[in-house]
């Protein structure tokens, strides 16, 4: 196959609200690449879902959502997260280039564009993109056994924290799915959101160090018993922090801080606002919502409407107000996740399973 034919298979999405800029780039590139055009961030997100481009040229200053927000949304979507994004911007906008790299862009091209520069930058990043895909395929193959081992450790630690609970353990996996959905809505890169999904089930690992008499007590805990119960956050942190991998570092933070509250009234350190790691703030939301909708020996399950109302009521007190808004905005997705896991739990009970694997 010739180089020219290979190049024509590459798909490039060009996004700019100025028709002249779109046509200029289209004329520059049409002989070598398959070109798709979009005139806004919202349209770009829709087009990218359909055509699956190999590279995106993205304007910054656009009406509606700007290039930074558009890029953030690309990177939080599993379908588009890996696509390289090059910002095409006026010289004055390049002063904010750090922000562009922070949201996931790989390069900048300044306006007015130079044909040779555009072609060179595109060729470079398409080559890197191709190499990255090849490398990731090999990496996935070679690390499958390690990944399975790590996954097994996550299961064991997650289940260990709930070993003495009266439920079947579905809670931690359903809650983790909620957390991953909230993180994606908050703009997290899909890979980081997936990491959160695996870290979240370990949030109560420290409960393995709490006496059964307290964990299984059917009534309210005394003040002295609460002092002991609250130590599960620090016990879990002490276990999980011994690993220096990003996954277990995140899990350690979540274990330590998932009972902190936005207004500073939580524990163990009484942190408030953004001093609480965002991962723990997300898990706090997911954990409380799932706990409310679960039936336990000492309480009936709340309806989903009651649970959503309670989350909204605690906005800005227990929960990060922005994350609360994100959670409420994806209500349909949360309900779909709940339905999926509730079905899985019902099948578990029918088959007599004690623990669930994912």
- Compute how many other C-beta atoms are within 10 angstroms of the C-beta atom of residue 42: 15
Judging by DSSP bridges, how do beta strands 55-59 and 85-90 pair with one another? parallel
DSSP, residue by residue, 275-341: GS-HHHHHHHHHHHHHHHTS-BTTBPPPPHHHHHHHHHHTBTTTB-HHHHHHHHHTHHHHHHHHHHH
DSSP, residue by residue, 139-159: HHHHTHHHHHHHHHHHHHHHH
CATH top class, domain 144-351:
mainly alpha
For 231-290, the three-class secondary structure string (H helix, E strand, C coil) is CHHHHHHHHHCCCCCHHHHHHHHHHHHCCCCCCCCCCCCCCCHHHCCHHHHHHHHHHHHH
pLDDT score, position 94: 55
Same topology, domains 3-141 and 144-351? Answer is: no
pLDDT score, position 168: 45
2 Ramachandran zone, left/alpha/beta (phi>0; psi -120 to 50): beta
Cα gap 316→321, rounded to integer Å: 5
pLDDT score, position 220: 85
Give Dmax over CA atoms of the chain in angstroms: 77
Residue with tokens 């899909």: 190
Cα gap 293→133, rounded to integer Å: 41
pLDDT digits (tens, 9 = 90+) for 45-65: 999 999 999 999 999 999 999
Q: What torsion, rounded to 10 degrees, do the Cα atoms 349, 352, 356, 358 define?
A: -90
Segments of the chain scoring below 50 in pLDDT: 1-8, 143, 145-146, 166, 168, 355-358
Using alpha carbons, select from 12, 9, 11, 37 the residue that is nearest to residue 23: 37
Buried b (16+ CB within 10 A) or exposed e, 184-201: bbbebbbebbbbbbbbbb
pLDDT score, position 7: 42
pLDDT score, position 333: 94
pLDDT score, position 8: 46
Angle, to 10 degrees, between the axis of helix 321-329 and the axis of helix 304-313? 150
pLDDT digits (tens, 9 = 90+) for 258-307: 999 999 999 999 999 999 999 999 999 999 999 999 877 667 889 999 99
CATH architecture type of domain 3-141: 3-Layer(aba) Sandwich (3.40)
> Domain segments of the chain: what residues?
3-141, 144-351
Q: What residues form DSSP beta bridges with 110?
A: 89
pLDDT score, position 156: 61
């Amino acid at each position: 196959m010739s180089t020219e034919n290979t190049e024509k298979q590459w798909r490039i999405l060009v996004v700019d609200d100025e028709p002249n800029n779109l046509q200029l780039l289209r004329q520059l590139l049409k002989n070598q690449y398959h070109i798709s055009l979009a005139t806004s961030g919202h349209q770009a997100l829709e087009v990218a879902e359909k055509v699956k481009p190999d590279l995106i040229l993205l304007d910054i200053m656009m009406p509606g959502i700007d290039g930074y927000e558009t890029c953030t949304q690309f990177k939080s979507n599993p379908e588009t997260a890996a696509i390289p994004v090059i910002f095409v911007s006026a010289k004055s906008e390049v002063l904010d280039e750090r922000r562009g790299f922070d949201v996931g862009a790989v390069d900048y091209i300044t306006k007015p564009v130079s044909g040779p520069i555009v072609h060179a930058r595109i060729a470079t990043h398409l080559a890197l993109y191709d190499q990255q895909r090849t490398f990731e395929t090999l990496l996935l193959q070679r690390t499958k056994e390690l990944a399975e081992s790590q996954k097994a450790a996550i299961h064991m630690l997650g289940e260990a924290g709930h070993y003495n609970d009266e439920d079947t353990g579905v809670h931690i996996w359903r809650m983790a799915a909620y957390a991953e959905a909230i993180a994606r809505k908050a703009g997290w890169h899909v890979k980081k959101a997936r990491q959160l999904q695996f870290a979240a089930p370990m949030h109560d690992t420290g409960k393995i160090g709490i006496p059964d008499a307290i964990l299984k007590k059917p009534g309210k805990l005394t003040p002295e018993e609460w002092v002991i119960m609250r130590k599960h956050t620090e016990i879990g942190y002490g276990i999980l922090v011994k690993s220096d991998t990003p996954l277990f570092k995140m899990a350690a933070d979540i274990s330590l801080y998932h009972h902190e509250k936005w207004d500073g009234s939580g524990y163990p350190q009484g942190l408030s606002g953004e001093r609480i790691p965002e991962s723990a703030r997300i898990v706090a939301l997911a954990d409380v919502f799932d706990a409310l909708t679960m039936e336990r020996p000492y309480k009936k399950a709340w309806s989903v409407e009651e649970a959503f109302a309670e989350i909204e009521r605690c906005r800005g007190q227990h929960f990060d107000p922005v994350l609360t808004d994100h959670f409420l905005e994806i209500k349909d997705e949360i309900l779909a996740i709940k339905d999926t896991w509730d079905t899985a739990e019902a099948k578990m009970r029918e088959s007599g399973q004690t623990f669930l694997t994912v």
